[in-house]
Amino acid sequence: MTENEPAIRVRGLRKTYGALAAVDGIDLDVHRGETFALLGPNGAGKSTTIEILEGYRTRTSGEVAVLGVDPARGDLDWKARLGIVLQSTAEAAQMTVREQLAHFAHFYPDPRSVDEVIEAVGLTAKAKTRIGKLSGGQRRRVDVALGIIGRPELVFLDEPTTGFDPEARREFWQLIERLKREGTTILLTTHYLDEAARLGDRAGVILGGRLVALGAIDELGGPQARVPIVRWRGRDGLVREQRTGRPAELVASIVAETGGEPAELEVIRPSLEDVYLELVGAAAAADGEASGPPAASATEASAPSGATEASAPSDATEASDIEGVRA
């Protein structure tokens, strides 16, 4: 593969199980050095997609190239360039953490140091413990360690932090940030949207086997989805909500109007989670109306050229009409 070729290239990918289209026509590029988060509800088709890219599942149709190779024909040299953390794994429970990692390190031409990896996943104190005796979250850390021991160019992480305590999740984030700095390409699935927002450069949302949104993490859903919401309780006792790109201006006008501090004032910037829930909710509603697929084809969130908080497109900066009033 050439320098400019994406690490992962997928065109028209389909995977059917009988009548079910688990993956229903996905087009996707993951660039070299990028961290891409694949999001979507349970059963959306994330693991099916990832496992096809890893060479673990066959596809029904479509084109796939991973590091320039069709995964259906990937040889050992190709596999050695990948790091894989499956959604669920069967561990060699009799081995200790250290033995298991040392065993796997042998399969790779240029593995990382076993002790360094054990430390990076926070298992130094458990290095001599049999894997069967670890807690669920500790076993998951072993999975992550096995995924990176071979110094992979491309890492697949399918819900890597499920079962991690909050501190372990933070440590894992640091580990991923280190891999990113080293230039590793990462394809990640997670149900933790804060994790996706923290680690991801771009994200795609899969619903019913189709990619319904694709773009930079902070542009997903389009500019309108990120416009702040100002919420306050008016003097009439009703809660008001207004979306505006100029929240300070709106707050000033509310203060001028009410002649004092507005009750319960909040300025809310929609998070990735808010945007995601809106996307999934809208697609589910559209699916309810039409009997067709859950949503139209993916739209790459177009980056407004040079857009920043201060210079977002005009439709996003104008204060819109009062959007909601509730008691």
Ligand X SMILES: Nc1ncnc2c1ncn2[C@@H]1O[C@H](COP(=O)(O)OP(=O)(O)OP(=O)(O)O)[C@@H](O)[C@H]1O
Contacted by 40, from Mg ion, ligand X, none: CB < 5 to 8 Å by type: ligand X
Interface residue with ligand X among 7, 24, 26, 45 (CB under 6 A) is 45
Contacted by 212, from ligand X, Mg ion, none: CB < 5 to 8 Å by type: none
Interface residue with Mg ion among 35, 47, 185, 244 (CB under 5 A) is 47
Amino acid at 104: F
What residue has token string 């005009």? 314
* Interacting positions 5-34 with ligand X (CB under 6 A): 17, 20, 22
Nearer Cβ to ligand X, position 23 or 114?
Answer: 23
Stretch that binds Mg ion, among 15-23, 86-94, 171-179, 195-203 (CB under 5 A): 86-94
146 in Cβ contact with 111 (< 8 Å): no
User: Pick from 193, 145, 159, 164: which is nearest to 86 by CA?
Assistant: 159
3-state helix, strand, coil in the chain (%, to 5): 35, 25, 40
Nearer Cβ to Mg ion, position 30 or 123?
Answer: 30
First to last CA, the chain: 60
Measured between alpha carbons, how far is 231 from 240 in angstroms, rounded to an integer? 6
Q: Which residues, at least 6 apart from 262, have a Cβ–Cβ distance to it below 8 Å?
A: 232, 233, 234, 251, 254, 255
Q: What distances in angstroms separate CA 202 from CA 39, 114, 240, one per listed residue?
A: 11, 31, 33
Both tokens assigned to 52: 């096809």
38 in Cβ contact with 203 (< 8 Å): yes
Contacted by 122, from Mg ion, ligand X, none: CB < 5 to 8 Å by type: none
Measured between alpha carbons, how far is 53 from 214 in angstroms, rounded to an integer? 18
48 near Mg ion, judged by CB under 5 A: no
Nearer Cβ to ligand X, position 158 or 219?
Answer: 158
Stretch that binds Mg ion, among 81-89, 271-279, 281-289, 302-310 (CB under 5 A): 81-89
Stretch that binds Mg ion, among 47-55, 91-99, 145-153, 290-298 (CB under 5 A): 47-55
Nearer Cβ to ligand X, position 45 or 152?
Answer: 45
Stretch that binds Mg ion, among 32-40, 85-93, 229-237, 259-267 (CB under 5 A): 85-93
Both tokens assigned to 7: 């690490």
User: Pick from 295, 286, 222: which is nearest to 24 by CA?
Assistant: 295
Supply the minimum distance, in Å, between the C-beta of residue 37 and ligand X. Answer: 13
Q: Which residues, at least 6 apart from 77, have a Cβ–Cβ distance to it below 8 Å?
A: none
β-strand 229-233 against 239-243: which pairing, if any?
A: antiparallel
147 near ligand X, judged by CB under 6 A: no
Contacted by 22, from Mg ion, ligand X, none: CB < 5 to 8 Å by type: ligand X
Measured between alpha carbons, how far is 144 from 119 in angstroms, rounded to an integer? 12
Instruction: Please identify the residue of the shown chain whose CB is closest to the bound Mg ion.
Output: 47
* Interacting positions 81-140 with ligand X (CB under 6 A): 87
Stretch that binds ligand X, among 36-44, 174-182, 220-228, 316-324 (CB under 6 A): 36-44
Interface residue with Mg ion among 16, 87, 224, 317 (CB under 5 A) is 87
Q: How many residues bind ligand X (CB under 6 A)?
A: 12
Supply the minimum distance, in Å, between the C-beta of residue 24 and Mg ion. Answer: 16
3-state secondary structure of 7: coil
* Interacting positions 242-301 with ligand X (CB under 6 A): none
Binding residues for ligand X, rule: CB under 6 A, are 17, 20, 22, 40, 42-48, 87
